Amino acid sequence: MTNERISHEEARKTATELVNKMTIDEKIGQLEYDAKAISHLNIPEYNYWGEALHGVARAGTATVFPQSIGLAAMFDPEMLQQIGTTVSTEARAKHNEYSKLGDRDIYKGLTFWSPNVNIFRDPRWGRGHETYGEDPYLTATNGVAYIEGLQGHEKYLKLAACAKHFAVHSGPEGIRHGFNVDVAPKDLAETYLPAFKAAVQKGHVESVMAAYNAVDGVPAPTNSQLLEKTLREEWGFEGHVVSDYGAEEDVKQYHHYTKSDAETIALAIKAGCDLCAGHLVKYLRQALQEGLITEEAINGAVTRLLTTRVLLGLHATDNDYDEIGFENNDTTEHHQQALTAAYKSFVLLKNNGILPLSEDQLKSIAVIGPTADSTIILQGNYAGTASNNTTILAGIRQAAGEKIRVNYSEGCHLFKDRVEPLAKADDRESEALMMAQHSDVVVLCLGLDSTIEGEQGDAGNAYAAGDKSDLNLPGHQQHLLEEVLAVGKPVILLITAGSALTFNAQETNPALAAIMDVWYPGALGGRAVADVLFGKVSPSGKLPITFYQTTAELPDFTDYSMKNRTYRYMENQALYPFGYGLTYSKVALTNATIENFNKTLENTAVKVTVQNTGDFDIEEVVQVYVHADDSTDATPHAKLTAFQRVALAVGEQKTVTIPVPAYAFEVVNEQGETYSATGQFTFSIGVGQPDERTEYLTAVKPIQLTVTKTF
Beta carbons within 8 Å of 177's beta carbon, 6+ residues apart: 212, 246, 247, 250, 253, 254
Helices (H), 202-291: 224, 247-253, 261-271, 284-289
Identify whether the C-beta of residue 687 lies closer than 8 Å to the C-beta of residue 701.
Answer: no
Cis preceding-peptide flag for 167 (omega within 30 of 0): yes
Q: One-letter amino acid identity for 374?
A: S
Strand partners, 709: 679
Chain CA centroid to CA 569, Å: 21
Q: One-letter amino acid identity for 386?
A: A
Phi, psi of 243 (to 5 degrees): -80, 155
Identify whether the C-beta of residue 611 lies closer than 8 Å to the C-beta of residue 648.
Answer: yes
Element (H, E) at 708: strand 703-709
Burial 123-150 (b: 16+ CB within 10 A, else e): bbbbbbbbbbbbbbbbbbbbbbbbbbbb
559 catalytic? Reply is no
Hey, how many other C-beta atoms are within 10 angstroms of the C-beta on 217? 11
Answer positive or negative: Cα dihedral of 77, 82, 87, 89: positive
DSSP at 227:
I
Q: One-letter amino acid identity for 45?
A: E
Phi, psi of 444 (to 5 degrees): -105, 120
Catalytic residue among 187, 244, 426, 691: 244
User: What SS3 state is found at 595?
Assistant: strand
DSSP at 478:
H
Closest CA to 277 of 32, 30, 47, 461: 32
CA distance 82 to 80: 5
CA distance 455 to 177: 12
Order across the sheet with 207-210: list the strands.
162-166, 207-210, 240-243
Q: Strand pairing of 491-496 and 441-447?
A: parallel
Strand partners, 289: none
Burial 645-682 (b: 16+ CB within 10 A, else e): bbebeeeeeeeeebebeebbbbbbbeeeebeebeeebe
Catalytic residues: 244
